[in-house]
Amino acid sequence: MEQQKKALDEKKALNKETLGKEIKILGIESSCDETAAAVVVNGRQVLSNVISSQVELHAKYGGVVPELASRKHVENISLVVQEALDKAGLGIEEIDEIAVTYGPGLVGALLVGVSFAKGLSYTSGKPLKAVNHIEAHIAANFLEDSPLDPVKQPFISLVASGGHTHLVEVFVNENQDYPSCGALSYKIHGRTRDDAVGEAYDKVARALGLGYPGGPLIDKLSKEGSPSVLFPRVFLEEGSYDFSFSGIKSAVLNYLNKSTMTGIEINKADIAASFQDALLDVLTAKTITLCKSLRMNTLTLSGGVACNSSLRGRITALCQKNNITLHMPKPIYCTDNAAMVAACAYFTKGNSAKLQLNAVPSLKIQG
Ligand code: KG4
Ligand code: ZN
């Protein structure tokens, strides 16, 4: 009890010190196939955002090859971090904190960012912050001129990416005293029970022979087709906000196999449009139903799949119809980047890390 009070007093003192001050955070991200670094002021103003994508390297294998990803991160990381500092016009001595993604993700890939950040923290004497990648996707919604203020309004966040599909309630934890920016708490209402939504896009795209990553290709192709094939909408048991996308994916694969066996010609654009229609019906319906059932009138949408033009259009229309205020980051902040990592470190101020920090590949979102 005594100790808790002391810790709270220390945090309050720290907040008084930092209130009204500019906090410049260097974010570092290497959880999958993007090596990224960014400098962000007070969790919003992006001074630089450097992303080195490995898409071309992995495309010929049809997906991310973990060992190749780690090696490429090692090659890139110091250049990417230096470029982020240069573009921000700052030296490391002018940075206040270093934030790094430590999970979830590919262990070898994560370790590159974590080790680099620890080394930089040690040599520069700057504090280190450990960031959860899923929470960082949520924090992308605070970037730039976003009016979203977690202190003023709790919100529902849909995170839809290649590795995750989460429906999360985000609010400021009143037990912690962070008046300068708030410390976020999360309550998970739904998550995928099998494939992540981006994973389903990528697998269906591969079956259609479109290439990798499949999401943007299905997005584009589906505009040329019509949703003429009825694939299943999997809603699971009543009242559940969990998702299951492996059924839709298998239905598409079965349809394609049957067509090959019977020699019936398929129209790829129609299949893409039909798959997307089924998947987005479920994703958007569950999201809006959750907002309504919790009487939450603010929704955010982020993660790589949030780049999808049809998803953006449908969710915008549904939010307008249901009086829900919608926030979506620009596409460049939806896919993996380090600006969201820096923003997350700012808004979840408590996550200080020591030099013992390790990568945690199956890290869960903090409840
Ligand atoms: O957030 P992200 O860059 O990495 C993870 O954390 O997973 O998301 C990558 C995923 C891939 O599955 C990719 O196919 C999907 O996001 N994606 C899209 C679109 N752009 C990227 N999915 C559907 N439509 C898009 N336009
Ligand atoms: Zn991601």
104 lines ligand 1 (CB under 6 A): no
Distance 345 CA to ligand 1 centre (A): 23
Which residue among 134, 201, 309, 337 has the greatest number of ligand 1 atoms within 8 angstroms of its CB, and so is best to mutate?
A: 201
CA of 255 to the centre of ligand 2 (A): 30
**Whether 63 contacts 101, CB under 8 Å:** no
Q: Is 340 in the pocket of ligand 1 (CB under 6 A)?
A: no
Ligand 1 binding pocket includes 304 (Cβ within 6 Å):
yes
- The continuous run of DSSP H or E covering 314 comes out as helix 309-321
Nearest to 223 by CA among 272, 278, 267: 272
Q: How many CA atoms lie less than 13 Å away from 316 in the CB half-sphere?
A: 10
Closest Cα partner for 267 from 278, 254, 283, 256? 256
Pick the atom of ligand 1 nearest to 309's CA: 26
Q: 162 CA distance to ligand 2 centroid (A)?
A: 7
Closest ligand to residue 312's CA? 1
The answer to whether the beta carbons of residues 310 and 144 sit under 8 Å apart is no
Residue owning tokens 């569950």: 286
Q: How far is the CA of 10 from the centre of ligand 2 (A)?
A: 33
Which amino acid residue places its CA nearest to atom 23 of ligand 1?
215
For ligand 1, is residue 303 a contact (CB within 6 Å)? yes
For the beta carbon of residue 60, count every other beta carbon within 10 angstroms.
9
Order of strands across the sheet with 184-191?
184-191, 165-172, 155-160, 298-302, 325-327
238-289: pLDDT as tens digits: 999 999 999 999 999 999 999 999 988 899 999 999 999 999 999 999 999 9
222 lines ligand 1 (CB under 6 A): no
Q: What is the pLDDT along the chain (367 residues), one digit of tens a residue?
A: 566 566 556 644 554 455 568 999 999 999 999 999 999 999 999 999 999 999 999 998 988 999 999 999 999 999 999 999 999 999 999 999 999 999 999 999 999 999 999 999 999 999 999 999 999 999 999 999 999 988 888 999 999 999 999 999 999 876 554 444 557 889 999 999 999 999 999 999 999 999 999 999 999 999 999 999 999 999 999 999 999 999 999 999 999 999 999 988 899 999 999 999 999 999 999 999 999 999 999 999 999 999 999 999 999 999 999 999 999 999 999 999 999 999 999 988 668 888 999 999 999 987 6
Please say whether the beta carbons of 142 and 347 come within 8 A.
Answer: yes
94-98-99 Cα angle (round to 5): 145
| Residue 32 CA to ligand 2 centre (angstroms) | 8
